[in-house]
Chain A
Amino acid sequence: MPHQEDVRLMAHLMRRAGFGDPREELEKRVSMGYEAVVEELLHPERQPAINEELLYRYFPGYEGAGAPPINQANWVYRMINTRRPLEEKMALFWHQLFATGNSKVDNPPELTRQIATFREHGLGAFRDLLVEVAKSPAMIFWLDNHGNRDGAINENWGRELLELFSLGVGNYSEDDIKEAARAFTGWTIAPKIPRNPYGRFHWQFEYKPEEHDDREKTFLGHTGNFNGEDIVDIIVDQPATARFLARHLYRFFVADEPHVSTWNITPPVDPEAIEFLVDAYNESRGDIRSILRALFNADFFKNAQFARVKCPAELIVGTVRMAGNFNGFKPGFNNLALECGWQGQELLNPPSVEGWHTGSEWIDPGVLMRRVNFAARVFGDVSLPGVQAIIKRVVVNAHGDPSPQAIVAACLDAMGPLEVGEVTYSELIAHAERCGDLAWSTSEELLATLRNVSKILTLIAASREYQFA
């Protein structure tokens, strides 16, 4: 039997670096050792990728789909079924940071392609990712760089590149924005075959030298005949960029922080952790894999269990991964994707270029009801393989100790392991006591046991504690 603290820590790692794992998977990972699991997560190429040919054989309508929910479903399928959890989690991280929304882009398959870019480059050098994002047609359209030409600059991309994608407010001037925009003139999108009557065709990045401002620029104290990649090279060497990215990584992987729009006036929750991540950035020259290795192995990460409110994708994907009801191909991934939107996280359509407001801002009374109802409904379905596995584990445990305390403890263990506060715990115990001893001598007793354990699981899923990652 693995040590309970090791399982608890592994569950924490998998909730943060992935979307959670069922108990059996956690125990397998514990046997590998924590640091080895971190390395496996950091090297997704060592695990098989989603088989796209198989995916599009069964879901032919997903490929190049025009409807936003179908593109969201395509991503949710991958979040649930991936063997590369950190790769998918990083795609979500970068989608939050480089927030690009279908409300303006109106091209869901192009956004799906942007997510694939995050998947491909999300653990590499930040510099390379920034260049890829600058060339992403969805981003070019989102921030109007297709209208950024020599003599008629559009500052939108240049401004957000500095404000929201790298340096943060207070670390550049208005002149820097203009100069950055000048450097990205001519970075545009080639005309494409319009959508329909024969489906969708992708945009392609196009560099138009005739629209590029080829004159000298001064940016953040550097002077030269800069093009876009030169601007990125200067940006990634700025101390402010290291600090900005460190704070984003901390907020996404470690603990809730105020929204990015307040960072110029609100200090970090844990300045020492931010300094640690800044050092990792500088030592690795902005290599994301190296920074995350330092983060996942740091004590401040290991000690931050249940310090973040789950975003809707984490709550939904984590719940169905544990319940096992969307493993492989089946209809209905679009309903899960829609549920994300109903809970406030419409994938591929963040509310603005600032991304979603996270932490406690995920929760309001209406959304809380949705979150609770969703998770409780899943864990209340005793036909689901993951729920059956949890109940089996609880029943096996009850052979040795059928007391209400032991049953509640086994349920909390099998669903996490989860830690709950006194109020939740006493409610669970009170319910377990009302159910009486578990028994399974007759089919009626077995059915009652299934119902009673399932009810405890439902109550746990409805608890305050289940809302945290």
Chain B
Amino acid sequence: MLTTVAAGRVYDYSYCIGMYSQSGRGFWAPQDFVLGPDGRMYVLSRGVEQLGQRVSKVTLDHEFQGQFGSVGAEDGRFVWPRSIDLDDHGRVFVSDEHLNRISIYDEEGGYRYHWGRSGSEEGQLNGPSGIAIDSRGAIWVVDSLNHRVQSFSQIGEFQSKFGRQGGGDGEMEMPWGVCVDRQDNIYVADWGNNRVQKFAPTGELLVKFEGTSAGVGDLKGPSGVAVDSEGDVYVTDWGNHRVQIYAADGQYITALVGDAQEPSPWAQAYIDANPDLIKARRRTDLEPEWRFRRPVAVNVDADDRIIVLESYHHRLQVYNKLKDYVEPSINL
């Protein structure tokens, strides 16, 4: 469905961005992205083993503006980059699950500094995955293998923490992605418990987003989360290859499954350059290519556009949340 209508909301598929590429114009097993000023996005590619790790600077209208970072343990490099966010000054923060550190770059990718120490003590990290920066500039880090969330100052000074390993309220099992809303509440993708938990900045549990006993709104290994201007919550349901949408109170609304029927301009150029590819594509059902596969991160822009990053298909799909939608006649 290009248009999804549910519970007073309308989501309209718009277009997709990107394609597979080991370097340059495209992404490779991307894990996260962040929206910057002037339509620029920073897309973080994980690559594989010793290849492909980078941050790509790309605009929402398909302009490739360069890349920075590469594999390695030296300053400014990364091994298992997982998450990316921007502060108010446009500085880029990247987490590295293997090196247990957060690296900071300027807006064009110039390396500035890093912080993070390995361990399980307060302020130490073990597999830092999702990161999100709140309105006060605090860096919230999902300390995945310590099953908790910690906050730090911009230079890595420990501020606070919440969560511990387990399946009870407020507990976590290898949490993954994170986001903060406009009130600085923290939403944690609790991967191993198949749910998202919303916390106050104090660490108080506010709402849980998960399936009902009847299986409605189920999650399987959620990876990322985002909140729109109306409080609706979007969760990349990584293990089920879809995006689950919930109201602010946790009520399940609907799902998006991916609708990229038209390749991105970069992908179309790749296809057009190969007549055999064109022929092969005309002989088969392309639907598996439209659909999400391993949706891993989601963001909502200032216009409530929902942008979903797919790790397996190396691209982003963009949906509009329509505010002035009029139902077509039912008897067309």
Interface residues of A (CB under 8 A from B): 53, 56-65, 67, 69-70, 73, 190-194, 196-199, 201, 330-335
Contact between B48 and A70, CB atoms less than 8 A apart:
yes
Which residues does chain B contribute within 8 Å of A334, judged by CB atoms?
Answer: 48-50
Q: Do A57 and B47 have beta carbons less than 8 Å apart?
A: no
Chain A's closest residue to B71 (CB) is A331
Chain A residues whose C-beta falls within 8 Å of the C-beta of B29 in the assembled complex: 60-61
List the A side residues contacting B239 at CB < 8 Å: 53
Q: Min CB distance, B101 to chain A, in Å?
A: 15
Q: Could you tell me if A197 and B221 are in contact, using CB atoms closer than 8 angstroms?
A: no
A57 touches B176 (CB 8 A): yes
The answer to whether A199 and B313 touch across the interface, beta carbons within 8 angstroms, is yes
A59 vs B20: C-alpha distance when bound (angstroms): 16
B98 contacts the other chain (Cβ, under 8 Å)?
A: yes
Instruction: Flag if A196 contacts B294 (CB, 8 Å).
Output: no
A331→B312 contact, CB < 8 A = no
> Is A62 within 8 A of B20, CB to CB?
no
Is B161 at the interface (CB under 8 A from chain A)?
no
The complex places the Cα of A64 from the Cα of B310 at a distance, in Å, of 14
Q: Are B20 and A196 in contact (CB under 8 A)?
A: yes
B209 to chain A, nearest CB (A): 19
Please tell me if the beta carbons of A61 and B46 are within 8 angstroms of each other in the complex.
yes
Q: Using Cβ atoms and an 8 Å threshold, which residues of chain B touch A199?
A: 20, 293, 312-314
The residue in chain A whose Cβ has the minimal distance to the Cβ of B52 is A61
B284 to chain A, nearest CB (A): 4
State the CA gap A60–B20 with chains docked (Å). 13
B220 to chain A, nearest CB (A): 8
Within 8 A of A (CB), among B310-331: 311-315
Q: Could you tell me the distance in whole angstroms from the C-beta of B142 to the nearest C-beta in chain A?
A: 13
Binary A-proximity of B285-296 (CB < 8 A = 1, otherwise 0)? 110110001101
Which residues of A lie under 8 Å from residue B311 when comparing CB positions?
Answer: 60
Q: How far is the CA of A112 from the CA of B31 in the complex (A)?
A: 23
- Measured CB to CB, the residues of B under 8 A from A are 19-20, 26, 28-29, 31, 46-50, 52, 79-80, 97-98, 176, 191, 221, 223, 238-239, 263-264, 266-267, 270-271, 276-277, 280-281, 283-286, 288-289, 293-294, 296, 311-315
5 nearest A-B pairs in the assembled complex, by CB-CB distance = A61-B48, A197-B19, A197-B267, A61-B29, A194-B280
Report A212 CB to chain B, min CB distance, Å: 21
A433 to chain B, nearest CB (A): 41
Q: CB-CB < 8 A to A332: which residues of B?
A: 49
The distance from the CB of A431 to the nearest CB of chain B, in whole angstroms, is: 36
Given contact pairs A53-B239, A64-B312, A197 touches B48 in the complex (Cβ within 8 A):
no
A193 and B281 within 8 A (CB): yes
Contact A201 B288 (CB under 8 A): yes
Secondary structure at the B interface, as helix, strand, loop or mixed, is loop
Residue pairs across A and B with Cβ atoms less than 8 A apart, 9 shown, are A60-B48, A193-B280, A194-B277, A194-B280, A197-B263, A198-B263, A199-B293, A331-B49, A334-B49
Known: A61-B48, A199-B20. 6 other contacts (CB 8 A): A61-B28, A64-B312, A70-B49, A190-B284, A191-B284, A199-B314
Say yes or no: B280 contacts A191, CB within 8 Å.
yes
Q: Contacts of A56 on B, CB cut-off 8 Å?
A: 294
Q: How far is the CA of A405 from the CA of B50 in the complex (A)?
A: 44
Nearest CB in chain A to that of B290: its residue: A198
A191, B20: Cβ atoms under 8 Å?
Answer: no
CB B278 to nearest CB in A, in angstroms, measures 9
Task: State whether A197 and B47 are in contact (beta carbons under 8 Å apart), knowing that A57-B221, A191-B283 are contacts in the complex.
Answer: no
Q: A57-B176, A193-B288 are in contact. Are A331 and B98 (CB under 8 A)?
A: yes
Contacts of A197 in B (CB 8 A): 19-20, 26, 263-264, 266-267, 270-271
A190 to B284, CA, bound (A): 8
**CA gap between A330 and B145 in the complex, in Å:** 14
Max chain B CB contacts within 10 Å: which of A58, A65, A67, A197?
A197
User: Are A198 and B49 in touch, CB under 8 angstroms?
Assistant: no
Docked complex Cα distance between A73 and B50 (Å): 12
Which A residue's beta carbon lies closest to that of B220? A53
- Per the bound structure, the CA–CA distance linking A329 and B164 in Å amounts to 22
Q: In the assembled complex, which residues on chain A have CB atoms less than 8 Å from the CB atom of B283?
A: 191
In the bound complex, residues from chain B placing their C-beta under 8 Å from that of A330 are 98
Distance in Å: Cβ of B249 to nearest Cβ of chain A: 29
**Chain A residues near B191 (CB, 8 Å)?**
57
Smallest beta-carbon distance A331→chain B, Å: 6
B221/A194 in contact, CB under 8 A: no
Q: Which residue of B lies closest to A333 (CB)?
A: B49
Residues from chain B with a CB closer than 8 A to the CB of A57 are 176, 191, 221, 223, 238
Shortest B265–chain A CB gap in Å is: 11
In the complex, chain A residues whose CB is within 8 Å of the CB of B267? 197-198
Interchain CB contact under 8 A, A59 and B48:
yes
CA A201 to CA B293, docked complex, whole Å: 11
Contact B19 A62 (CB under 8 A): no
A193 touches B289 (CB 8 A): yes
State whether A58 touches B288 (Cβ < 8 A). no
Q: Which residues of A contact B289 (CB under 8 A)?
A: 193, 198, 201
- Compute how far the CA of A199 lies from the CA of B285 in the bound complex, rounded to whole angstroms: 16
Whether A196 touches B46, Cβ cut-off 8 Å, given contacts A57-B176, A64-B312, A331-B80, is: no
B84 to chain A, nearest CB (A): 15
**When the two chains form their complex, are residues B19 and A198 in contact, meaning their CB atoms are under 8 A apart?**
yes
Chain A residues in 8 Å Cβ range of B221: 53, 57
A328 to chain B: closest CB distance in Å? 11
Contact B79 A198 (CB under 8 A): no
Contact of B284 with A62 in the complex, beta carbons under 8 Å:
no
Within 8 Å CB of B223, what residues of A?
57
Q: Judge whether A60 and B46 touch: CB under 8 Å.
A: yes
In the complex, what distance in Å separates the CA atom of A194 from the CA atom of B275? 12
Q: How far is the CA of A335 from the CA of B289 in the complex (A)?
A: 31
B-chain residues with CB within 8 Å of residue A191 when the two chains form the complex: 280, 283-284
Complex Cα spacing A62 to B293, Å: 14
Given known A-B contacts A199-B20, A334-B50, A58 and B80 have beta carbons under 8 A apart: yes
- Rounded to whole angstroms, the CA-CA distance of A196 and B29 in the bound complex is 13
Selected from A63, A67, A335, the residue in CB contact (under 8 A) with B294 is A63
